[in-house]
Amino acid sequence: MASYPVNPRDPGDPYLGFWRERHLCTLTTLRRDGTPHVVPVGVTYDPEAALARVIANRSSRKVRNVRAAGPGGTTVAVCQVDGRRWATLEGRATVSGDPGRVAEAVRRYAERYGRTPAPNPDRVVVEIALTSAMGNV
């Protein structure tokens, strides 16, 4: 296995296969003072749209960090690890409370993780417009 960059829109079968497996991931955002905030999350990856999604509560620190950057969003990274295999997606994150976008994120989460999250009226989706991908799978 060698570490390599991949095209987030056309990552290849091994990379995409790894993202289809059920793994907990981390999301790294930046606080206002520039220090990293790293939390475990569920992530879905949509290479056709070059988009990763994280469902969250609108009052969570990760959502506040993304929103603090303004309407254009901020750069974030999501990463998953399984032994020596790992994959990272990077891009520009924004937050949406649009019911259709949140529902799509919940649907994809349920498909990947095998369970539908409980209803949450405060749920939003962190959408990450992917700019780069790398990994060792």
Burial class from Cβ neighbours inside 10 Å (0-12, 13-18, 19+) for residue 125 reads buried
* CATH number, position 37: 2.30.110.10
Return the amino acid letter for 87.
A
pLDDT at 17: 93
Which domain, by its residues, includes 35?
A: 4-136
pLDDT of residue 6: 84
The pLDDT, as a whole number, for residue 81 is: 97
Number of domains in the chain: 1
Q: What is the distance between the alpha carbons of residues 85 and 67, in angstroms, rounded to a whole number?
A: 31
Task: Report the pLDDT value the prediction gives residue 71, as an integer from 0 to 100.
Answer: 86
The pLDDT value given to residue 5: 86
The list of the chain residues with pLDDT below 70 reads 1-3
